[in-house]
Structures are given as C-alpha cells and as structure tokens.
Amino acid sequence: MQQFRQLRPVSKENIPLEQIHTMISFKFFEEFGRYLLLMKKSFVRPEKMSIYRKELLRQMIEIGVGSVGIVIIFSVFLGAVLTVQTAYQFTSPLLSKSIIGSIVTNSTIIEMAPTVTCLILAGKIGSSIASELGTMRISEQIDALEIMGINSAAYLVLPKVIAATIMIPIIIIIGAFLQILSGLVVGHVSNVVTATEFMQGSVQYFIPFTVTFAIIKATTFGFIISSVSAYLGYYTTGGALQVGNSATRAVVASCILILVFDYLLAELLL
Amino acid sequence: MIEIRDVRKAFGEREVLKGVSGMFETGKTSLIIGTSGSGKTVLMKCMVGLIKPTGGSVIYNHDVDFTLLDEEGRKEIRKQIGMLFQGTALFDSMSVEENILFPLNMFSDMSVKDKLNRVNFCLERVNLKGTNKLHPSELSGGMRKRVGIARAIVLNPKYLFCDEPNSGLDPQTSILIDELIHEITEEYNITTIVNTHDMNSVLGIGDYIIFLHQGLKYWEGNRHEVFASTVKEMNDFIFASRFLKEIKERSSGN
Ligand SMILES: Nc1ncnc2c1ncn2[C@@H]1O[C@H](COP(=O)(O)OP(=O)(O)O)[C@@H](O)[C@H]1O
Ligand SMILES: [Mg+2]
C-alpha cells in the first residue's frame, strides 16, 4: 500500500481537500459573478421597444401556453393523491373530516403549488430556455446578433426572464386552484370526505397571507428558473453535446436553487 | 477600408495569431486564405470584435481603432458591417423573409411596404425570389448561404465579412456564390473580406490575398501573382490539389 502510494503520480486526484474546497468556492463565485454581469447586460433599456414588446409577448405565450398542459395534469393528480393520502392518515372518528380540506388547501397553497409545481416547470421551461440559447450560441446566431449591433443579452435574455417571472405565478395560481378543486371532487366521489366538509375545512383554517406568500415564491422561482437557465444556455461552448449538458445543468441548478430559496423564504417570511 | 496592424491573439498559452498586418481596400474583394486551423476565423472575429485581440489594432476608415472603442462606438461601426458566418447563423425560428427583415426592423425607420420591397430586392439579388416563407431548415446549403448574404447586405453595409462562404458546397455553386460576392462588392463599393481555402475563389475573385500559416502572414498579393509565389508554405497550399500539381509538373517538364 505504502509503495503504491509512492508510485502514484501527482495528479488532480491527489490535490489536498482544502485546496479542492477553495477551487470549488472560487468556481462558484466566478460563475456567480458572470451571472450577475449577464443580468446587468440584459437589464437595460431596449434599443427598439416595439420589437422587444413583440418578443416579450411571444415568450409569454410560449412559456404560458407551453406549460399549462403539464401543470393541469400534474395539479389534478397531486390534488387527488393529497386528499386520499391525508384521509388515510386521519382515521380517528374523533377528528372532524373537514380537517382534510384544511390540510389539502394549506399545503397546496404553501408548498405543493408554488414549490413542487415549479420544480416541474424547471424541467420544462429551464431546459427549453437553456437549449434554445445554447443552440443559438454554438450556431453563431448570438454572434450574428452582436455583429448587427444588437445587445444579444437584452434581446434574448430579458424577454424570457420577464415573461417567466410574470407567467409562472399565473400558472401556479391556476395550478393551485385546480389542485384544491381536484382534491375536493376526488374526496367527494371516493366517499372520503364530502364536498361540504372539505370546503368547510378549507375556509375555516384559511390564512390569507399564504396566498401572498405563494405568489412571492412563484415570482422568485420564475426569475430563478429563467435567469439561471438563460445564463447556462447563453455561455454554452462546444457543440450539440454541450447544449444537452447545459440543458441538464439548467434543470439541476434551478431545482437546487428553488429548494434553497424555498427554505430561505420560509425562514424570512413565515 | 480596413487596416489591421500586428493583430495578435492567444488563447491561454496558445498563440493563434502572431502579429498579422494587412490593408483591405474599398470596392475590392480581399481574401484571407490558409489551411484549416491557420487562424482565419479568429482573425476575422478579431476584426469585427467578436474576439478581443491580445495585441495590435484594427482600423476602420483610416482613423477609428475598433479595438479601443467602447460598446456604443462598436455598435455604430457594426451597423455598417454585414457578416456571413461559416454556418450561416440564420435564425432558426424565423422564415427567410423574417431573417432578412430582422436588421431592417431593428435599425431602419422605413415603412412596412418599403421594408418588404427591400427584402424582395435582396432576395432577387441572390437569386432566391419566392422563397420568402420557407424556413432555414427547408433550404439547401447553397440557398442558406445566399440567404445569409441577403441578410448581410440588406442594410447596405460598408463592410462585408464572409467566413468560408463556399465551404460544404459543390464547385459550381461555390463559383456562383463567389461571383455574387464579387459583383456585390463592386456594385455597392463595399470593403469585402472573405475567408477561404478554395483555390477556385483565390483565382477567381482575389483582388488582394493574405496567406495565413500558423498565425503568421507568409504571403500577400493578388490573384495574378499567386503562381509567382516563391514561398514554400504558400506553394504547398496552392498545389495541394492533385490537378494543379499535375499541371505544374507538366508545364515545368516541358
Ligand atoms: N475560442 C477558442 N479557444 C481556444 N482555441 C481556439 C478558439 N478558437 C479557435 N481556436 C484555435 O485557433 C486555431 C485557429 O482556428 P480558426 O481561426 O478557427 O481556423 P480556420 O483558419 O480554420 O478558420 C485553431 O487551432 C483553433 O483550435
Ligand atoms: Mg474557419
């Protein structure tokens, strides 16, 4: 063993752990700095308002219409599952069934709709933004914009970030509504809890601030998904393989950041 | 016109351009030739500011050093630049017409009708009349290049850059594209710079030619002087084709 260690050449694997830590944190700050610079370059007054307005509209439609299908399916099933499983946990005859409605409603508004749905949207929207920009980068379409004298970051990134930050909260509100509705209907149909009991619970323990909280979360997550994915796509280098990598990294990074900010916002606002 | 003085570029340790100078005149088609990897694209990108050179200057119109300009100054020059990229860089999400309209929408205050007229004029100029509604994915390689040229000239640029305009095309289409670029250059008095490794282009349209080899200029001249070159690297490049080599051997044999 001793001998083996001596024979091993000095390679990357032998770098002491502290050094790797500094390398990672350096890399993180470097990336974060580049991300901030891209945001600074993107958030400027557009050169030609009419074109940007048109592009913003196009992105809003693409993000909105493109995501609404998956969110409907997801929300309907999640609401149903939530009701059935909550009911399964509350079998005691001492408890009012209406508590099921209260739990489903609150957990939907606080966590399921904004956070869990955004994790799904990170997969859908994040990968599409990153691969679109990545493809434009490697096929020199971004260079072509720059050559024309157009601020490519402002033209490509800004409309996407604004569109996602506006549309994702709207989608989330639709999702939350559907989820609760689905919980109510499924609970009633499967004889777990009647619609009246469910609604009673929903209303009785309803905390209005949770709605504000959910919208704040969805807006934050919308910004995170779009800006992080745009950043990773915009700075893709290489070829088709790297475009795929960027899309994957966009989804992973968005999901992790959503979870981190989910916690931070809960600490901060609740 | 554009003058480059001692342009250098290193990527990390690796020097790709080791000090290249040259003078590209107005109304002339200038070529940058050399084997793949000799630094042609990097030089062109340094000239338009897509890559920041590590040294040297790029001078537009006698007095403006592009490398010293800030973002706003660059934009002003770039509005006078048209560029055809090696992979054409057409916007995939837009039709042919929208691709060519795009610079007009961004930078001109023409009426919609005038813009469409201009688009159709440019399309006709590159012999692509009636392809307005097609998407880039529906075009052949040669057609894509021509759309790229139409987009590059739609704003009447003073400077036209073409990176390997005929790579991946058959010889006949290549010659058509070359002639198109040459004609447009003379017709509108543009300063045109073309990267190529195609000997047909060199002999056909080279008003001024720079031969790059491993990041250095080994030879310069025009298309009539090419065969008089005594530079070994240059001759290796020119006579790389079996056809030309044979002609040369036969003529020197006689
Ligand atoms: N962004 C880059 N980073 C590192 N090396 C590069 C980069 N771009 C080009 N090179 C290197 O510069 C050399 C010249 O490339 P290029 O100008 O594309 O050649 P060509 O004459 O075929 O156009 C090549 O060896 C290439 O590997
Ligand atoms: Mg090249």
Measured CA to CA in angstroms, residue A142 lies from A133, A134, A138, A173, B188 at distances of 8, 9, 8, 35, 27
Please give the helix or strand (H or E) that residue B143 lies within, else none: helix B141-153
Which of B107, B112, B161 is the best mutation test for A, with the most CBs of A within 10 A? B107
- Average pLDDT value for chain A: 92
**What residues contact A41, with CB distance under 8 A and at least 6 apart?**
A151, A153, A154
Q: Assign residue B228 the CATH number of its domain.
A: 3.40.50.300
Q: Which residues of A28-59 are buried (b: 16+ CB within 10 A; e: fewer)?
A: eeeeeeebeebbebbeeebeeeebbeebbeeb
* Domain match, B134 and B246 both: no
Place A45 in a pLDDT band, splitting at 50, 70 and 90: confident
Establish whether residue B87 lines the binding site of ligand 1, counting it when its CB lies within 6 angstroms of any ligand atom: no
In this structure, which residue's CA is closest to atom 27 in ligand 1?
Answer: B37
Q: Are A150 and B105 a contacting pair, CB within 8 Å?
A: no
Q: B172 and B244: one domain?
A: yes
Verify that B16 and B69 share a domain, yes or no: yes
Low-confidence ranges of chain B (pLDDT < 70): 253-254
Domain that holds residue B222: 2-80+161-253
Tokens of B251: 């003529």
Which A residues, 51 through 110, put their C-beta within 8 Å of a C-beta on chain B? 51
pLDDT of residue B136: 96
Same domain assignment for residues B108 and B228: no
End of a domain among B156, B172, B187?
B156
Ligand 2 centre and the CA of B86: distance in Å?
7
Q: Nearest-CA distance from B118 to chain A in Å?
A: 17
A139 touches chain B (CB under 8 A): yes
Q: Grade residue A1 by pLDDT with cuts at 50, 70 and 90.
A: very low
Closest protein CA for atom 5 of ligand 1: B11
Percent of chain A predicted with pLDDT > 70: 94
A25 falls in which pLDDT band (50, 70, 90)?
confident
Question: What is the band of A13 on the pLDDT scale with cuts at 50, 70, 90?
Answer: low
Strand (E) positions, chain A? none
Cβ atoms of A64 and A166 within 8 Å: the answer is: no
Please check whether residues B167 and B227 belong to one and the same domain. yes
Question: At which residue do the structure tokens 């008095």 appear?
Answer: B189
Collect all residues of chain B within an 8 Å Cβ-Cβ radius of residue A146.
50, 78
- Using a CB-CB cut-off of 8 Å, the residues of chain A touching B106 are 47-48, 51, 148, 150
Looking only at the bridges linking them, the beta strands covering B64-65 and B216-221 are: unpaired
Contact A51 B86 (CB under 8 A): no
The reply to whether B176 and B248 lie within a common domain is: yes
User: In chain A, which residues have their Cβ closer than 8 Å to the Cβ of B76?
Assistant: 149
Give the tens place of pLDDT for each residue, B11-65. 999 999 999 999 999 999 999 999 999 999 999 999 999 999 999 999 999 888 9
User: Is the CB of B32 inside a 6 Å radius of any atom of ligand 1?
Assistant: no
Test site for ligand 1: of B7, B13, B16, B32, most ligand atoms within 8 A of the Cβ: B16
Q: What is the pLDDT of residue B254?
A: 55
What is the distance between the alpha carbons of residues A187 and A85, in angstroms, rounded to a whole number? 10
Task: Express each pLDDT in A89-124 by its tens digit.
Answer: 887 888 888 999 999 999 999 999 999 999 999 999
Assign residue B4 a region (left: φ > 0; alpha: ψ between -120 and 50; beta: otherwise). Answer: beta
Domain count, chain B: 2
Counting runs of H as helices and runs of E as strands, what totals does chain A give? 11, 0
Separation between Cα atoms, residue A54 and residue B17, nearest integer Å: 42
User: What is the phi/psi pair of residue B206, to 5°?
Assistant: -75, 90
Q: Count CB atoms within 10 A of the CB of residue A262.
A: 19
Assigned token pair, A26: 């350096």
Residue B211 CA, ligand 1 centroid: distance in Å: 16
- Give the β-pairing of B159-163 and B81-84: parallel
For residue A11, what pLDDT is reported?
A: 53
Ligand nearest to the CA of B39: 1
Residue with CA at minimum distance from ligand 1 atom 4: B11
Residues of A in contact with B145 (CB under 8 A): none
CB of B56 closer than 8 Å to CB of B8: yes
**pLDDT reported for residue A20:** 76
Ligand 1 closest atom vs CA B212 = 21
User: What is the rounded average pLDDT of the residues A72-82?
Assistant: 96
pLDDT of residue B170: 87
Domain boundary among B120, B141, B156: B156
Instruction: Indicate if the pLDDT at residue A65 is higher than 80.
Output: yes
Minimum-distance ligand to the CA of B47? 1
In this predicted structure, the answer to whether residue A7 has a pLDDT above a threshold of 80 is no
pLDDT in tens, A212-269: 999 999 999 999 999 999 999 999 999 999 999 999 999 999 999 999 999 999 999 9
- Are residues B165 and B245 located together in one domain of the fold? yes
Is the Cβ of A149 closer than 8 Å to some Cβ of chain B? yes
> Is A47–B50 a contact, with Cβ atoms under 8 angstroms apart?
no
Residue nearest to atom 7 of ligand 1 (CA): B11
| Residue B66 shares a structural domain with residue B97 | no
